[in-house]
Structure 1
Amino acid sequence: MDTNWPTENWHSIGDISDIPLRGARCVRTPQGKIAVFRTAENEIFAIEDHCPHKGGPLSQGIVHGTAVTCPLHNWVISLETGKALGADDGAVRTIPVRNDGGALFIALESLMIAAE
């Protein structure tokens, strides 16, 4: 692990190869379900796994660029900011995530996490 990163809040969630290009996987945490996305450019983002519109599972949406389209009502959510794009209004919480040579980590206040 890169020793330049603080370690007290970073928790391992697997490897980048666990997530397909333009896909997602979920991590359950005490703070709720987190969707971890991998873009076509191998960027990694983590956000709450519920659309601000009607709670749709964003992890099951279509990833395009640095956004995901909710599978329920086609709201587009920025993976960078968590904000709804276009005319829609709302946001989800973004979660700090890092890629350390393919090993993925998210910053959480609790150690209790489990990958799905």
Structure 2
Amino acid sequence: MNAVTQRWIEVGPLADIPPQGARVVRTPAGCIAVFRTATDEVFALNDRCPHKGGPLSEGIVHGASVTCPLHSWVFDLNSGAAQGADVGQVATYPAHVRDGVVYLGLAP
């Protein structure tokens, strides 16, 4: 989906999301976890692990990945794909930072 047809919502200041942490945003699409990496990149994924429904927002962020807190499945923050031997996919959403504020893209 391109930026023209995207609806952007303000999440809040980047400083409100701890480095290597996440914040949950409740949307009409469900709960979305917005992650901040150690290098201040932001990514957004569905907050529910497809394996056992664990809250990915409570997982460990390392590099551009997050590890589910329930059973240690690892997901790529760029693609939402499970890594290693695990098979699964989590929906991703566009996110960016402008003037220190995080924005999340949702389909209209």
After TM superposition, is the score higher than 0.5?
yes
TM-score w.r.t. structure 1 length?
A: 0.86
- Select the residue among 86, 92, 101 that pairs with 2:99: 101
Q: Bigger radius of gyration, 1 or 2?
A: 1
Does 1:45 find its partner at 2:43?
Answer: yes
Alignment of 1:71-110 (within 5 A): 71-109=69-107
* Residues in 1 aligned to 2:98 and 2:71: alpha-carbon distance in whole angstroms: 35
Deviation for aligned residue 1:98: 1.0
Gaps of 5+ in 1: 111-116
Q: Describe the SS at the equivalent of 2:15.
A: helix
Alignment of 1:1-116 (within 5 A): 6=4, 9-109=7-107
Q: Report the count of equivalent residues.
A: 106
TM-score w.r.t. structure 2 length?
A: 0.92
1:114: which partner in 2?
A: none
C-alpha spacing 1:7/1:101, structure 2 compared with 1 (3 Å)? farther
Q: Describe the SS at the equivalent of 2:104.
A: strand
Question: How large is the RMSD of aligned CA atoms in angstroms?
Answer: 1.4
Question: For 1:45-102, what per-residue CA distance to the aligned partner results, in whole angstroms no more than 9, with x for missing partners?
Answer: 0000011111100000000000000000000011110000000000011001111021
1:87 partner letter: A
Q: Give yes or no for contact 2:17–2:35 (8 Å, CA) kept in 1.
A: yes
C-alpha spacing 1:73/1:81, structure 2 compared with 1 (3 Å)? same
Q: Describe the SS at the equivalent of 1:59.
A: helix
